[in-house]
Structure 1
Amino acid sequence: MDFEPYRRELLAHCYRMLGTPDEAEDVVQETYLRAWRAHDRFEGRSSVRSWLYRIATNACLTALEQRGRRPMPSGLGAPATDPDAPPVPAEPGDAWPRPIPDALITPESADPAAIAVARDGVRLALIAGLQLLPPRQRAVLILREVLAFPAAEVAELLGTSVAAVKSMLQRARATLDAGGEVGDLTEPEQRELLDRYMSAFMNSDLAALESVLRDDAVIEPVPSRTWFAGKRTCVAYLRHVMGEPGEWQMTPARANGQPAAAVWYRGEPFGLAVLTPGKGGIARITVFGFPDLVERFASAAAGRE
């Protein structure tokens, strides 16, 4: 029984559930191990794909019992009103979602429709919203809304009733509906915004950076508990971090189906900036200040070439 064709979509599923690529990869490995051990007992009453999703989802639910939520800074409170104040540092026990390279979860096929669907299912806004849901609500929403599993199949997979699935889906939708969606741009339009962002930052050109932001722009610097909303506040914050020309270096990347930049500061790896582009400019900049992401994204891109 060949499970390998399902690896990318199972990794994306586990990532949606858990919020970090490392944990997702561990659970996919566990899923394959459980499946190999039980494959002689597979009775064929459902497809192999559904059977693997059952194993993976329950493994994710077990993993989530061992830890708390992974909210973004915007899931912890209101935006900061003083861009001149130091960011509020993370507290002991804080855990954060991490971005995932497109190369790990997009289909190997060149079908643009399949690639678009894969990217839509891991957008940062969706991942951040999912982390606010209780684990079983999270599973129901992913299986029903993202993967389009029938309600009866989800109920069987989770060992519950169709009525319970519908109730959990309704509550999950109500939570996620509180957030907004940003309309997609074409890939060339996204790349143009990314190029302008990188150029402005590397040249310490605050006016150029301001021109690429929407009026309702948001900046979330992770790991910290501080985030900023509104172009004026964001620009005032950026004034403190831009530094001198040449201090920041960036190269293009793709994360969570979105344009991104791998970032170095004074020659040292700094992390990853993920952009949410929309009509009129950049709607959100999520900066993941984890130096290991630079190598992770370079390795993922090299592995896909």
Structure 2
Amino acid sequence: MATNSLDSPASERETDAAKDRRDRFDRAVAPLRRELHAHCYRMLGSVYDADDALQEALLRAWTAFDRFEGLVAALQRLSGNERAALLLVDVLGFTASDAAATMGTNATSMHSALARARRSVRKPAGSDRPAPAQPSDLALARRFADALAASDLEGFVALLAPDVTWQMPPMTQWYAGSEAVAAFAQAVPMTLCPSWRTRVITASGQAAVAFYVGERNDAPHQGWSVTLLDVENDAITGITSFLDAALFARLALPPSID
């Protein structure tokens, strides 16, 4: 059976070192294949063209594997939109405008996500352990939580950077730019959710808010989401809400509160 030259660029005279490099490459790209192919397909609209684009990307990655190998490890600490931006622009070679169109966002938000992603992957090895959240970030998180709970749209918007993004794993939807984020906040958590309770915490070294939702103000409130905030220059640049009640136990939080 013929082998794929991109997946197995080996020859009969391949040295042990080369074989080890090939195996490390295969292990490194395996978790990214599906995501890369999906992005190619969204951009090109053809399975066959997406296959070709993916192979071209893997060839680029193979020829510069020493740099790529470190990139793969760093991808694990990026948010979804940051990872997508980095893969589309720096791996697949898309222009920022094409990548923005693929992700359904604007060029400003794309450049911001890409800049944050590049800063993150440039962190030296061994620096993954997060530092504690700054008191100023925790204070900002408290204002964020209070504004959402009180349906204070003006106060909420005042906390946001212009290029802020909001994503909600495992859902695929995300919102880019302060106007889109504010519109979602007003339409859903400020309008459709009857009552909130919040706790400001630190999670993964970031300021975060545990949100509990209740049917009315005097009813029990159940754990709903853990929301991490990215903060730069005293403004919120990224909101990541994990809609998973199981996280409350992992963070030593009660599953419900009054």
Structure whose CA Rg is larger: 2
When normalised by structure 1's length, the TM-score is 0.42
Q: Report the structure, 1 or 2, having the larger strand content.
A: 2
Q: Which structure is higher in RCO with an 8 Å CA cutoff and minimum separation 6? A: 1
